[in-house]
Structure 1
Amino acid sequence: MKILVVGSGAREDAICQSLLKNDKNVVFCAPGNDGMKLNGIKTISINEDEFDHLANFALTNNVDYTIVGPEEPLVNGIVDFFKSRKLLIFGPTKEGAQVEGSKSFTKKLMADADIPTASYQEFTDLQAATTYLNEEAAFPIVIKADGLAAGKGVYISPERDDALSKVTDLLQGHKFNTRKVVIEDFLEGEEFSLMAFVDHKRFYPMPIAQDYKKIFEDDKGPNTGGMGAVCPVQNISSEIEQTAIETVIKPFVNELYNQGIKYTGIVYAGLILTQDGIKVIEFNARFGDPETEVVLPRLQSDLSEMINQMLHHKKINEITWSTTGLNLGVFAVSHGYPGKQVVGDLGSTDEFRSCPLTVNYASVRKENHRLISNGGRLYLVQTQAEDLDSAQVQVYRELGKMNQLHIYYRRDIGKNSI
């Protein structure tokens, strides 16, 4: 098949590499990045928001179907646009993508489906939010920008002054173009991610993963888009995993369908195991990043054929996943991330090609046979090993060989998977 993947990050690199396991497939990535070319991926210079150009490329190149990686084009209606051109595309419509685009929409959906989540309040008015924080809120508390914020619009405020500052930034300063905030109770427990392929009422869960969002070791510092991930999560039992499928994914998919949203694509549930049981932190409308980079390498079935069947609304009879060992991935990021990043030389393309482990490229560009940083999260090094210790030794050994001058990475990824 000919398949177009929309996006430019390590997640899209991982999707492309999974599709290329079938050597009969031709895979394009738009816009992709210069690092992906080292993995043999054909990149196309069309940005993810150029719907007309993307659709024209799919038409003129006889692309069988398109897969959308990032959330922004989904929320902006790329699936609706492609469907209007009679093109097959894997992802939810603009209506379905509200799952990620609007936290208040998703909170209501969870309430309708009786899915456990944190108690919350919504505010569009700064004075009303201030009054709530001054008079009713219990700390620590969680503040979320209602729209898209590239994984950075969630804050845990330990005390009132910090919360007031964050709410002011969002509702008065309109950080991330925010017009509404959700303020919710802080939940304590073990976090994990559960993704599922969805085809209307049918869904197919993936193995659970765990990502590490904080910039510093021991889960300290501000949130990032994700500093690394591990799959499976050995300290989350199979019983808990099955409970999450039955009490979160299944009712959520059913509620979407019952509300007239014929959802085809990926549902991502960010979950936390509290003393009161499983609760939902967030839902997303696409593959997680960096979870995808450690989950898809465990897929033994043909991803391209699976998605083709879902797009034609045919039942998938069996999906096979690796049941041995674990997959670990660690992101190298620019110094200064998630704030102002330092741009610098990352090393020669030959150095990266010689890495014996899988490298998924994100914000990098090529210049004179060298890779240069081009954003925050740069590349992820990933391996499959028998156990966590072996995986960490392999990944950190290879990261240690990289040019350290302009990169930072956490050295404790996988620490909870024991």
Structure 2
Amino acid sequence: MKILVVGSGAREDAICKSLLKNDDNTVFCAPGNDGMKLSGIKTISINEDEFDHLTNFVQTNNIDYTIVGPEEPLVNGIVDFFKERKLKIFGPNKLAAQVEGSKTFTKKVMADANIPTAKYREFTDLESAVEYLTVEASFPTVIKADGLAAGKGVYIVQDLNEALEVVSELLDGHKFNTKRVVIEEYLDGEEFSLMAFVDHKRFYPMPLAQDYKKIFEGDKGPNTGGMGAVCPVNNISDDIRQMAIDQVLKPFVHQLYQEGIKYTGILYAGLILTKDGIKVIEFNARFGDPETEVVLPRLKSDLSDIFVKILNHKKIAEINWETKGLNLGVFAVSKGYPQQPIFGSLGKVADFKNCPLTINFAGVRKQDDELISNGGRLYLMQTRADSLSHAQADIYQNLQRMNQENIFYRRDIGKNSI
């Protein structure tokens, strides 16, 4: 098959690598990044928002189907655009992608389906938000930008002064182009991620993963797009996973269908196990990043075959996953990330080619015989091992061999999964 993957990050790198496990597949990535080329992924210089150019490429090159990695083109209607031209594309349409594009839309679906989530209020004007925070809110509390914010639009604020600063930044300064905020109760517990392939009413859950959003060890500092992930999550039992499927995934998918939303694509549930049971933090309309980089390497079935069956609405008898050991991934990011990434050399191309572990590339570009930083999150190094300690030793020894001048990484990824 000839397959196009839309996107440019480590998630898309992982999707491409999984598709290339089938030797009969040819995989293109638009726009991709220079690091992907090191493993034989064919990158195309078309940006993810250039729908006309993407469809022209698909038609000209007889692409069998397209997979969309990032959320922004999904929310902006890329699936509708392709389908109007009778082109096969994997992902939710613009209406269904509101699952991620609008937190208020998703909160309503959850309420209608009786899915447990945090209590919340929504605000479009600064004065009302300030009044609520001053009079009614308890701290810590959570403030979310209602829209896309590349994983950085969620703030856990500890006191009123911090809360007022954040809502002012969002509703007055319109950071992330925010026009509405959701203020919700702070939930305490163990967070984990559950993704599923969805085909209208049918869904196929993946193994649980856990990502690490905070920039510093011990889950300190501001949120990032993700500093690493582990799969499976050893401190979340199989019984809890089944509860998440029964109490969250199943009712949410069925509620969407009842409302006339025929969801096709990946559904991501960000969950937390509290003293009162499982609650939903968020839903996303695509593969999680960096969870994908540790989940897909555990897939034994042919990913391209899964996509084909779902696109043709055929039931999948079974999806096989690795059951032994665990997969761990750690992101190397630019120093100064997420506020002010410092750009510079990441080392010789040969250093990356010779690394014995899997590397999923994100914000990098090639200059002569070096890779140069071209974003905040640079590359994720990933391995599978029989235990967390072995996986950590493997990754951190190999990360230490890379050029350290312009990178930073957490040294405790996987710490919860003991």
For residue 269 of structure 1, give the secondary structure of its aligned residue in structure 2. Answer: strand
In structure 1, distance between residues paired with 2:301 and 2:341: 39
In structure 1, distance between residues paired with 2:318 and 2:111: 32
> TM-score w.r.t. structure 1 length?
1.00
In structure 1, distance between residues paired with 2:15 and 2:273: 28
For residue 138 of structure 2, give the secondary structure of its aligned residue in structure 1. Answer: coil
What is the aligned length? 418
For residue 73 of structure 1, give the secondary structure of its aligned residue in structure 2. Answer: helix
> TM-score w.r.t. structure 2 length?
1.00
In structure 1, distance between residues paired with 2:169 and 2:302: 46
Q: State the one-letter code of the partner of 2:290.
A: P
In structure 1, distance between residues paired with 2:322 and 2:74: 30
Counterpart position of 2:354: 354
- Provide the identity percentage: 75
Counterpart position of 1:59: 59
> Cα deviation per residue 1:156-198 (whole Å; 9 max; x = unaligned)?
0000010011000000000000000000000000000000000
Compute the displacement of 1:63 (Å): 0.4
In structure 1, distance between residues paired with 2:253 and 2:369: 47
In structure 1, distance between residues paired with 2:252 and 2:367: 46
Counterpart position of 1:279: 279
Unaligned runs of 5+ in 2: none
For residue 66 of structure 2, give the secondary structure of its aligned residue in structure 1. Answer: strand
Counterpart position of 1:100: 100
Counterpart position of 2:255: 255
**Structure-to-structure mapping, 1:125-274, within 5 angstroms:** 125-274=125-274
Compute the displacement of 1:74 (Å): 0.2
In structure 1, distance between residues paired with 2:334 and 2:7: 20
Unaligned runs of 5+ in 1: none
**Structure-to-structure mapping, 1:24-39, within 5 angstroms:** 24-39=24-39
Q: Which runs of 4+ in 1 moved over 6 A?
A: none
Residue 367 (1) aligns with residue 367 (2): yes
In structure 2, distance between residues paired with 1:4 and 1:399: 30
Q: State the one-letter code of the partner of 2:217.
A: E
Counterpart position of 1:331: 331
In structure 1, distance between residues paired with 2:125 and 2:109: 23
Compute the displacement of 1:39 (Å): 1.2
> Cα deviation per residue 1:195-220 (whole Å; 9 max; x = unaligned)?
00000000000000000000000000
> CA RMSD for the aligned pairs?
0.3
Q: State the one-letter code of the partner of 2:128.
A: A
For residue 243 of structure 1, give the secondary structure of its aligned residue in structure 2. Answer: helix
In structure 2, distance between residues paired with 1:28 and 1:385: 30
In structure 2, distance between residues paired with 1:125 and 1:381: 43
For residue 35 of structure 2, give the secondary structure of its aligned residue in structure 1. Answer: helix
Counterpart position of 2:393: 393
Compute the displacement of 1:407 (Å): 0.1
In structure 2, distance between residues paired with 1:133 and 1:410: 33
In structure 2, distance between residues paired with 1:158 and 1:8: 35
Q: State the one-letter code of the partner of 1:371.
A: L
In structure 1, distance between residues paired with 2:369 and 2:80: 40
For residue 360 of structure 2, give the secondary structure of its aligned residue in structure 1. Answer: strand
For residue 280 of structure 1, give the secondary structure of its aligned residue in structure 2. Answer: strand
In structure 2, distance between residues paired with 1:257 and 1:62: 32
In structure 1, distance between residues paired with 2:40 and 2:226: 25
Counterpart position of 1:11: 11
Q: State the one-letter code of the partner of 2:166.
A: K
Compute the displacement of 1:369 (Å): 1.4
Counterpart position of 2:380: 380
Q: State the one-letter code of the partner of 2:303.
A: L
Counterpart position of 1:321: 321
In structure 2, distance between residues paired with 1:87 and 1:348: 40
In structure 2, distance between residues paired with 1:140 and 1:159: 6
In structure 1, distance between residues paired with 2:179 and 2:206: 34
> Cα deviation per residue 1:354-378 (whole Å; 9 max; x = unaligned)?
0000000000000001100001000
Compute the displacement of 1:347 (Å): 0.5
> Cα deviation per residue 1:244-294 (whole Å; 9 max; x = unaligned)?
000000000001110101110000000000000000000000000000000
Residue 311 (1) aligns with residue 328 (2): no
In structure 2, distance between residues paired with 1:246 and 1:114: 12
Counterpart position of 1:301: 301
Counterpart position of 1:414: 414
> Cα deviation per residue 1:330-351 (whole Å; 9 max; x = unaligned)?
0000001001110100001111
For residue 5 of structure 1, give the secondary structure of its aligned residue in structure 2. Answer: strand
Q: State the one-letter code of the partner of 1:44.
A: I
Compute the displacement of 1:57 (Å): 0.5
In structure 2, distance between residues paired with 1:364 and 1:39: 14
